[in-house]
Amino acid sequence: MSRQTENFFKEFHEYAAEKGAETEEELQQLLKEFVTQYNASLPVAVTEENAQTADDYLELAENAKSKKQALKYAQMALEAEPDNIDAAVTVTEMTAKTPDELYENLCGLIVRAKERMTEEGWFDEENIGSFWQILETRPYMRLLNKYAQTTKELGMLRLTVATCEEMLRLCENDNLGIRYSLMHLYTFLEEEAPAIALMEKYEKEESTQFLLPLSILYFKLGNKEKSEQYLQQLKAVNKDTVAFFKAISKGNLDTNPNEINAYGYRPNTIEEFIVETHENIYLFISSAGYFDWALRKLTSRKKKQS
């Protein structure tokens, strides 16, 4: 969901709360009224001259032509709304001189954001598990996601695991796909029990980004029979499995995800393997032995069948 769409629903929630609606029909009528008013009030485009809210300035920052200009708009967003988490994260990310400085600053943002949100009631039990469905708590999820990415880049993998687990607790539907990152982390750390628990939580999901790390995990644990079981499941699910392993073996896999469709990768194709490799390179560079073994298993079985 884009920032503009989020703003629309945020303003509609405020409008509906002010007007009040007791039935679904009344709510639908309020939505029609709001859409008419909202469309009539929309400017042709957000500019520095007509920008008023933090979201306006953040939109300008996203579309800025230079880092200096983007930082200027992000700082203006933070001045307009000092408690705006997205603005704070943007400014922090753009001004940190080192990854460690970014980590330290994000730690402070998380503490302050959680304290404020707890006071406002967002961490009440009724909201836990639905943080992405609630527009007001989405910025906090984005903050945790940036923190998880930063700790992973710094090699603080236990902290990354704890953050990912917290994100799944706050958002059970996992709209950000955190479970995939977590499965690769469990594999790297050779944590079998939480890896299996994660798979069970998502109803034994058979996806490329679950099956490949699980196969690697059991190879690392010395259980080659189970490793091959997941490998063959992967081959059945993703038609490009053999091509991927051959590309890895020859060292000619294109791991640039920027060339993939702007709307996202196609699941269970070579595109998903490319994205997976790019996002979890720390695991794959330490698993060369597995890839040699797996390719032999895939090609030898294919020869036997032919």
Task: Tell me the C-alpha distance between 71 and 77, whole Å.
Answer: 10
Are the CB atoms for 85 and 117 separated by under 8 Å?
no
Tokens of 238: 């993703």
Distances (CA, A) of 143 to 147, 235, 249, 279, 302: 6, 36, 37, 18, 46
Percent of the chain with pLDDT strictly greater than 90: 75
pLDDT score recorded for residue 28: 74
What is the tens place of the pLDDT at every residue in 62-95? 999 999 999 999 999 999 999 999 999 999 999 9
pLDDT score recorded for residue 260: 65
Pick the closest to residue 236 from 265, 262, 215 (CA basis).
Answer: 215
Residues whose CB is less than 8 angstroms from the CB of residue 34 and which lie 6 or more positions away in sequence, other chains included: 11, 12, 15, 16
Tokens of 114: 């959680």
Are the CB atoms for 282 and 152 separated by under 8 Å?
yes
pLDDT score recorded for residue 22: 66
Largest CA distance in the chain: 71
> Is pLDDT of 27 > 70?
no
Tokens of 164: 């990912």
* pLDDT: which is higher, 194 or 21: 194
Confidence (pTM): 0.83
Strand partners, 171: 129, 130
Are the CB atoms for 208 and 237 separated by under 8 Å?
yes
Are the CB atoms for 61 and 77 separated by under 8 Å?
yes
Tokens of 135: 């527009």
Confidence class of residue 158 from pLDDT cuts 50, 70 and 90? very high
What is the tens place of the pLDDT at every residue in 29-51? 777 776 777 666 655 588 988 99
DSSP H helices, the chain, are 3-19, 24-41, 54-62, 67-80, 85-95, 99-119, 138-153, 157-170, 178-188, 192-201, 208-220, 224-237, 241-250, 270-279, 281-284, 288-305
What is the tens place of the pLDDT at every residue in 197-233? 999 999 889 999 999 999 999 999 999 999 999 999 9
pLDDT score recorded for residue 8: 62
Q: Compute the mean pLDDT over every residue in the chain, rounded to the nearest whole number.
A: 89
Are the CB atoms for 170 and 162 separated by under 8 Å?
no
What's at 297, amino acid-wise? K
What is the tens place of the pLDDT at every residue in 91-135? 999 999 999 999 999 999 999 999 999 999 999 999 999 999 999
What is the tens place of the pLDDT at every residue in 250-275? 888 876 666 666 557 889 999 999 99
pLDDT score recorded for residue 5: 63
pLDDT score recorded for residue 36: 74
Task: Tell me the C-alpha distance between 248 and 271, whole Å.
Answer: 14
CB count within 10 Å of CB 72 equals 16
Task: Tell me the C-alpha distance between 220 and 215, whole Å.
Answer: 9
Task: Tell me the C-alpha distance between 288 and 293, whole Å.
Answer: 9
Task: Tell me the C-alpha distance between 85 and 101, whole Å.
Answer: 18
> Is pLDDT of 304 > 90?
no
Task: Tell me the C-alpha distance between 57 and 75, whole Å.
Answer: 9
pLDDT score recorded for residue 258: 63
pLDDT score recorded for residue 194: 98
